[in-house]
Homo-oligomer: A and B are copies of this chain.
Amino acid sequence: MSMIVFSDSKAGMDGLDKEKIQQIIDESSGANFSAFALKKKDRLEKQRSDIIVKVKSMSDGTRKKYEREMADVCRLLEMERHLDRDCVHVDMDAFYAAVEMRDQPKLRHTPMAVGGASMLSTSNYAARQFGVRAGMPGFIGSRLCPQLEIVPLNLDKYTCESRVLSSILSQYDPNLSMGSLDEAYMDLTDYVRMRSIPVRHKRVRYSGDCVCRLPVMKETDSPGVSQSINTQQSCPKCNQTRIIIEDEVEFGIGRSEIVREMRFRMEQTTGLTCSAGIAPNFMLAKVCSDQNKPNGQFELENDLQKVIEFVRELPTRKVSGIGRVAEAHLSALGITKCGEIITLSHLLPCAFSSLGVESMLRVGLGLGSSMHSRDSNDSSRKSISIERSFSPTTDPQLLTQMLQELCEQLSEQASSKIKSASGLSLKVKLSSFDVLTRSAQVPIGCDLLDPARMFTLSKIVLNNMLAEGKELRLLGVRLYKIIEKVEDMDEEKITVVDMLKRRRVVKEEEEKKKMNEIVEEKEKKVNKMVEEEEGDIDDDIPKCPVCGWRMEGIDDREINGHIDQCLSKESIKELLISDYEKREENGTQMRKEKSKTKQKTILNFFPKSS
């Protein structure tokens, strides 16, 4: 019996032999992990049966009551429905894998995955045919697909790429919210209104034996609206012949065409494809972006009937926020499709808290979640953490050593991102895979970013959370209760703050404009590059995709740093920071902010009062 239910809900996994895959997974799993998975499965099964009991023992009266209540809530929720927005979710196709395939052409036509023997971060679509997917250990992937190529992570590269993509997309919605490195939530309502005439873009595609450049011309590409100019050359890198096909394409008005245009420009600039969903809210847009993956888009019209129909047959698991457990709980109520959330709504209280019930009803009604329904108001970071797995060990020496290293690394990373943190949470995973956490707070103002202090506290917490002799397979440190770098502007110097704010806003806009121009330039340059074929011999020299600076012999990290400079508002930040620090240094008294709310710090561990 399988411990983990192999889920085929992801894109690109149709028609594969699930039983076979499951068998391989099961027999490849280690004993500890299997036991852990079993424990989880049992717990879930117990929860399911508890829910079923609750359903069966529900009296007729309470059923009626719930039916009425749910109908009422639905009526209220219905009032929040908006069908007047153009919401889009854009998600890159097999993101990490696509980047690696672009940069290593030999990977393009073989099943491959990104990660290591112990864990894969994602796989390409060829590999997915074999059941190889994100979150799967590499050694199992290799069993499922012996030809599988596993390439290591280049997180810095993906981060760069992500910045390029978001800078393109931000031209369509300057308030977009990045859901992760590879996806964005955008509200195109305003842009759609502005767009009254079609636009044309130059298109460049490649053919021939050389595979150095993307995108490759395909039969399925839409025909151009201009005569195509074909140029043949010899690639200086691979010495193969390369055919450059240049023409123009046109994109009409309307949100669907605009999304097509965005996707076109992204591929032209990065060589990567993405998929997109268009819908009246973000919850639906997110689902839609998965409908025509890869390299496709899907529009759900802003029409009540269409929305209802779409949602009715939608498997619950497709919805972001409904995971493995929630899906199981719903299925215990007989709910597998989102439409059933409404028809069986009176059962929801048997499985969910009142908040959970409401969020389920929203899904069933096809309404946006409050999460991403608003603009990403919530940009502030809540925590920053580091964790590392290792061969299970009991050795206190080793553990201490690793803990110290973790703290040093975290300190370094955190110092560049936050101003301070007053909470620390230590995480351990036992060799049984059970996870424990213990946390402690220090008085605000005490600097946990200092690596020595961080380590000291971590060590104390660690020492006191475990009986001796426990075998650990992971250690982690998380900082929370964070004060961000530039955020703080106190009410006192309103004038100054105001000025700074104004400056920041102005400069921000300038930066954005500049950035947009730059990207456009870059796009043009790509084109120019093609035109100036001879002068562009040094093809393999990496360039900043934003400013076009050539960077010879510079490693990825530095490249990343450069692009940071290019794209972020570093200069502004520095200004604010230096100003703030100046104020600090100048002896402006850190007011003893009598925090109205009492803190429970580690000092209170000795609770002798007053």
The residues of A with any CB-CB pair to B shorter than 8 Å are: 72, 76, 430, 434, 436, 438, 456, 459-460, 463-467, 470, 541, 549-553, 558, 561-562, 565, 605-610
Contact = CB atoms under 8 A, between A and B. Distances in A.
Q: Which 3 A-B pairs have the closest CB atoms?
A: A463-B550, A561-B606, A467-B608
A552 B608 CA distance: 20
Contacts of A465: 607-609
Contacts of A76: 72
B607 A553 contact: no
B467 A610 contact: yes
A465 B76 CA distance: 49
Contacts of A464: 549-550, 607-608
Contacts of A436: 609-610
A565 B558 CA distance: 47
A13 to B, nearest CB: 37
A465 B456 CA distance: 27
A304 B72 CA distance: 24
A496 B531 CA distance: 66
B72 A608 contact: no
Contacts of A456: 552-553
Nearest to A605: B562
Given A438-B607, A466-B609, A558-B606, 12 more contacts: A430-B610, A456-B552, A459-B552, A460-B550, A460-B551, A463-B549, A464-B549, A465-B607, A467-B608, A561-B606, A561-B608, A565-B606
A558 B601 CA distance: 14
Contacts of A608: 464-467, 561
A606 B549 CA distance: 13
Given A460-B550, A550-B464, A470 B610 contact: yes
A470 B609 CA distance: 10
Nearest to A460: B552
A470 B608 CA distance: 11
A249 B493 CA distance: 78
> Taking each of A460, A565, A606, which has the highest tally of chain B beta carbons within 10 Å of its own beta carbon?
A606
Contacts of A438: 607
Nearest to A558: B606
A610 B428 CA distance: 13
A434 B456 CA distance: 36
Contacts of A434: 610
Nearest to A468: B608
Contacts of A551: 460
Contacts of A550: 460, 463-464
18 contacts: A434-B610, A456-B552, A456-B553, A459-B552, A460-B553, A463-B541, A463-B549, A464-B550, A464-B607, A464-B608, A466-B608, A466-B609, A466-B610, A467-B609, A467-B610, A558-B606, A561-B606, A562-B606
A562 B464 CA distance: 14
A386 B476 CA distance: 47
Contacts of A470: 610
Nearest to A452: B553
A551 B456 CA distance: 10
Nearest to A76: B72
A427 to B, nearest CB: 13
> Taking each of A466, A467, A550, A608, which has the highest tally of chain B beta carbons within 10 Å of its own beta carbon?
A608
A552 to B, nearest CB: 6
Contacts of A609: 436, 465-467
Contacts of A553: 456, 460
A72 B552 CA distance: 58
Nearest to A461: B607
A553 B76 CA distance: 57
Nearest to A562: B606
A461 B592 CA distance: 32
A561 B606 CA distance: 7
A459 B550 CA distance: 9
A289 to B, nearest CB: 31
Contacts of A607: 438, 464-465
Nearest to A432: B610
Contacts of A463: 541, 549-550, 552
A439 to B, nearest CB: 11
A609 B605 CA distance: 18
A431 to B, nearest CB: 12
A466 B470 CA distance: 36
A304 to B, nearest CB: 22
A68 to B, nearest CB: 10
A133 B212 CA distance: 94
Contacts of A552: 456, 459-460, 463
Nearest to A465: B609
Contacts of A561: 606, 608
